[in-house]
Chain A
Amino acid sequence: MSNIPQELRFTKSHEWVKREEDGTLVIGITDHAQQLLGDLVFVEVPEAGSSFKDSDDCAVIESVKAASDVYCPVAGEVIESNEALADAPETINNDPYGDGWIFKLKPEDEGAYDGLMDADAYAEVVAEDEH
């Protein structure tokens, strides 16, 4: 069973999004996603300063099994990336919602966050996946 924190927002492609007090968004991949991928061995984070549109692929994570893209949940500019993941990609397996965060984004439109799925809606996506 995967962990889906109530206070986060989610995408169908299994990213989670957390809104900080200043409106910055912290983004990572969900517990369900890391379980599907298995042991992660490589993470390529987006460069700070780069801009992405909604659903652009902006990071790469690779497990022993396969490579997978991470998609930008909403349009915005990357203000910080989790450089520690380069040497410790397994952090995402061990702590997907904490130290395993991937990047921080300044959204173009602050309201875009509210359009993302809540935990209950994402739980349904996961339940369908597991069937």
Chain B
Amino acid sequence: MGNRTPLYEEHLRANAKMVDFGGWDMPINYGSQIEEHNQVRQDAGMFDVSHMTIVDLSGDKVKPFLQYLLANNVDRLKDKGKALYTCMLNEQGGVIDDLIVYYLGETFYRMVVNAATREKDLAWIEKHAAAYDVTVNVRDDMAMIAVQGPNARDKAHKVLGVAIADQLVDIKPFFMREMGDVIVARTGYTGEDGYEIMLPANQAPGTWRQLVEAGVKPTGLGARDTLRLEAGMNLYGHDMDENTTPLESGLSWTVAWEPEDRDFIGRAALARQKSEGVKRKLVGLVLEDRGVLRDHQKVIVDGEEAGEITSGSFSPTLGKSIAFARVPASVGTHCQVDVRGKLLNARVVKLSFVRNGKPCIDV
């Protein structure tokens, strides 16, 4: 038996098919993954993301600590509640994890890190926090529900009540608001508008049931994966890991080089890679032949094996198979993929594939 979130019973009640995900018993779907995918693109769906790890960091030197720990620069966060997406690197520039950090005050930040990387992340954070006298507080007392889709905010407002909804009407993307013990962030992992709601674990089942009544449909991790893939969002352990840098994972935009004198873990290695020229990059692939692209299939460029698919599946929105692949930086507009022994043709595209319900590429 794996770890269970506070919403485990709700999943069973909704006939979820449960699977192991990084040591957690999580719903892969509640029937049809494609219907769940479409309901997020067209209306509103919700995910139990309580398995993710919420870490509160506090102390007088928490800001310089995070400026050293993270490749993006928390000094970019000037307004309370603002969120920043960043990688946490090792000395070699490899990605230990990707995470979101929220600015809650000069001496208080919150991070949300992946479930599967929890133990190594916490060990790494604590190892470096000591020198900065930063207190690390893991919030296992909290649950998290992601409500996503074009109608997600309206439906969530009805459930959260007028007092909270009034404070959310003008919330900007990538900001969070704290309202008593409920925290709502306008963030997500689907390419749609919506919220990630952090709340006390004991309130989660009640809120979940109210969201169901408001027409927000439970959505499993299967659809979460195809939604993020369409949205061009990386998944840790597939699209990047400790052996790849952000520069070869489509995440250069998350590395803050300025100011030049900010030393962060992995900076020297990244600077070296940058000056030598980054040889590989992460691109999107759209399969032109029939079939389905899958993780680890080989990418063939000019007749030679040149790279590998890092995440591949079927895009319900485009009706075609799509993937991320790590390929030589010199790749052209087309390549082939070895799909179960057959060479199929694929087009190379810039990420992402779908945003706010609409295709971003020609199909």
Contacts and interface: CB of A to CB of B under 8 A. Distances in A.
Question: Do chains A and B stick together as partners?
Answer: yes
Interface in B19-69: 28-29, 32-34
Interface string B261-293: 000000000000000000000000000001110
A65 B340 contact: no
Contacts of B28: 65
Given A64-B226, A64-B314, A65-B222, A86 B290 contact: yes
A41 interface: yes
B292 A62 contact: yes
A26 B32 CA distance: 27
B155 interface: no
A109 to B, nearest CB: 30
A39 B32 contact: yes
Contacts of B340: 60, 67
Interface residues of B, number: 16
A117 to B, nearest CB: 25
Do most interface residues of chain B lie in helix, strand or loop, or is the interface mixed?
mixed
Contacts of B316: 64
Interface residues of A, number: 12
Interface in B155-177: none
B104 to A, nearest CB: 38
Interface string B294-317: 100000000000000000011010
Q: Which 3 A-B pairs have the closest CB atoms?
A: A41-B314, A39-B34, A62-B292
15 contacts: A38-B33, A39-B32, A39-B33, A39-B34, A41-B34, A41-B314, A42-B292, A62-B292, A62-B314, A64-B226, A64-B313, A65-B28, A65-B222, A66-B294, A86-B290
Given A41-B321, A64-B34, A66-B294, 4 more contacts: A39-B33, A42-B321, A65-B28, A65-B33
